[in-house]
Amino acid sequence: MEIQRIKILQFFLILSAIHIHAQSISGIILDAKTNLPIESASVYFDNTTIGTSTNYQGKFEIEKSENISSNLVISFIGYEKVTIKDYDTNSIYKFY
């Protein structure tokens, strides 16, 4: 029984360590002409499988680990794809 408690504690410590090294990037995607939110826009790190899509308010949140140095890419049908090299943890991005 004591060994199980130790293993569970180790598991939570590992999860905590992983979460500490991750950084959350969040923002809002808006149409540049109308300032309306864009729902279901793709937001991802270039050349990775890490990504998400915006909600009905144009908001997104994506986890970025330390070892990712890729650009942030935002795309949606009918808009120009946007590649951002220097992104902040909480920003508003506008689409054309």
Go through the domains of the chain in sequence order and give each one's CATH number.
Answer: 23-95 (2.60.40.1120)
Distances (CA, A) of 69 to 2, 31, 47: 42, 27, 10
* Phi, then psi, of 11 in degrees rounded to 5: -60, -45
Q: What is the pLDDT of residue 40?
A: 96
Q: What is the pLDDT of residue 76?
A: 93
Strands laid side by side in the 42-45 sheet: 51-53, 42-45, 72-75, 82-84
- Note the Cα 2 to chain centre separation in Å: 39
Distances (CA, A) of 85 to 14, 21, 44, 49, 73: 30, 20, 12, 17, 9
Q: What is the pLDDT of residue 95?
A: 62
pLDDT: is 94 or 31 the higher one? 31
Q: For 65-76, what is each residue's pLDDT tens digit?
A: 777 888 999 999
Q: For 1-56, what is each residue's pLDDT tens digit?
A: 454 444 443 433 343 334 444 688 888 899 888 889 999 999 999 999 999 999 99
- Note the Cα 21 to chain centre separation in Å: 14
